[in-house]
């Protein structure tokens, strides 16, 4: 086992496993879909809207189900901490995403249960647990994140009154690579102007999508793993897929264009 720092040697691995939220599996290809070009035997456990509780659960499940071990690659991209994942009898896993931008949990729930310090403690414990359990598998792995963990609502606003938590979990935080928010968006989602814009069923106006484009996913991986050799095929496909997404006018068109390209999600319990 080793924690991957600067280089992913694709030829070393028989299988690859990916865990995260919509920054790992989305309507258009992400960094995980690019890596699958080099490691075809890939397993996608990410889910749109997932929080770190879901990510932790899926990692443990995958370790048991697939006997993750030496010659496997495990890449995790954690989400923001203000999320509430839940498994229910009727719907299975519910992952509505950021609590500030969802309609699953109402104002009464937020008033009674929302506590940024509590969510931060919960998720940093889970992340420490992920690191420790992956270290026992023999697999190579790396821990990444979409956003800084002290983000209040996936934006630039920082949590207050959590300095003691951040200090206590500093060794845990030091194990995680810099966030997409910091590296690609310079801590401001509006810095990248060339965004996919399309009509959706959840927005009345034209929706501007700040999820990373495929070329931005590749840029992040190149910066986090600078010694990795990304083939011309990966570079070309990242550019083509980005242009495809930028050209789409509707959410349906995006789903149709990329349905046979993105990795299908591994079936959960």
Range of the domain at 187: 10-258
**Bridge partners for 19 per DSSP:** 76
Do the beta carbons of residue 263 and residue 18 sit within 8 Å? yes
* Distance in angstroms (rounded) separating the CA atoms of residues 78 and 232: 28
Rounded mean pLDDT for each run of 10 residues along the chain, 269 residues in total: 92 98 98 98 98 98 98 98 96 95 95 96 98 98 97 89 97 97 96 95 91 98 98 96 98 96 92
Q: Do residues 267 and 66 lie in contact, with contact meaning Cβ atoms separated by under 8 Å?
A: no
**Residues composing the chain:** 269
Is the residue at 5 inside a domain? no
Question: Which residues have CB under 8 Å from 157's CB, separation 6+?
Answer: 151
Domain CATH code at residue 251 = 3.40.50.1110
The total number of structural domains in the chain stands at 1
Q: Name the token pair of 177.
A: 């690579």
pLDDT score, position 235: 96
Residue 167 belongs to some domain of the structure:
yes
β-strands 92-94, 86-88: how paired?
A: antiparallel
pTM of the entire predicted model: 0.97
> CA angle 214-1-65, nearest 5°?
70
Could you give the CA distance from residue 79 to residue 102 in angstroms, rounded to a whole number?
15
Does 230 fall in a domain? yes
Is residue 27 included in any domain, yes or no?
yes
**Residue 61: per-residue pLDDT:** 98
**Residue 116: its H or E element:** helix 116-135
**Residue 3 covered by a domain:** no
Determine, yes or no, domain membership for 41. Answer: yes
Identify the pLDDT of residue 35. Answer: 98
**Is position 202 within any domain?**
yes
Is 99 inside any structural domain?
A: yes
pLDDT of 208: 95
Q: What is the pLDDT of residue 156?
A: 80
Which residues have CB under 8 Å from 149's CB, separation 6+?
78, 80, 81, 120, 123, 124, 166, 173
Q: Which residues contact 167 (CB under 8 A, 6 or more apart)?
A: none
How high is the pLDDT of residue 1? 64
């Amino acid at each position: 086992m080793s924690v991957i720092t600067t280089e992913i040697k694709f030829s070393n691995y028989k299988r690859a496993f990916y865990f995260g939220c919509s920054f790992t599996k989305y309507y258009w290809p992400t960094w995980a879909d690019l890596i699958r070009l080099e490691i075809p035997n890939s397993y996608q456990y990410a889910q749109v809207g997932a929080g770190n509780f879901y990510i932790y659960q899926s990692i443990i499940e995958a370790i048991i189900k697939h006997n993750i071990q030496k010659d496997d690659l495990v890449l995790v991209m954690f989400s923001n901490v203000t999320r509430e994942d839940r498994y229910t009898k009727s719907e299975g896993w519910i992952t509505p995403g950021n609590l500030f931008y969802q309609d699953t949990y109402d104002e009464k729930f937020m008033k009674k249960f929302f506590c940024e310090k509590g969510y931060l403690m919960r998720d940093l414990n889970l992340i420490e647990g992920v690191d420790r359990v992956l270290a026992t598998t023999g697999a190579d792995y790396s821990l990444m994140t979409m956003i800084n963990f002290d983000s209040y609502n996936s934006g630039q606003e920082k949590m207050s009154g959590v300095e003691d938590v951040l200090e206590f979990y500093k060794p845990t935080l030091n194990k995680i690579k810099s966030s997409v928010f910091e590296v690609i968006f310079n801590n401001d989602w509006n810095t990248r102007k060339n965004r996919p814009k399309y009509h959706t069923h959840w927005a009345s106006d034209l929706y501007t999508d700040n999820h990373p484009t495929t070329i931005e996913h590749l840029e992040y991986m190149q910066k986090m793993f600078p010694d990795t050799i990304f083939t011309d095929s990966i570079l070309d496909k990242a550019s083509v897929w980005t242009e495809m997404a930028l050209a789409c006018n509707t959410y349906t068109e995006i789903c149709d264009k990329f349905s046979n390209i993105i990795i299908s999600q591994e079936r959960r319990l």
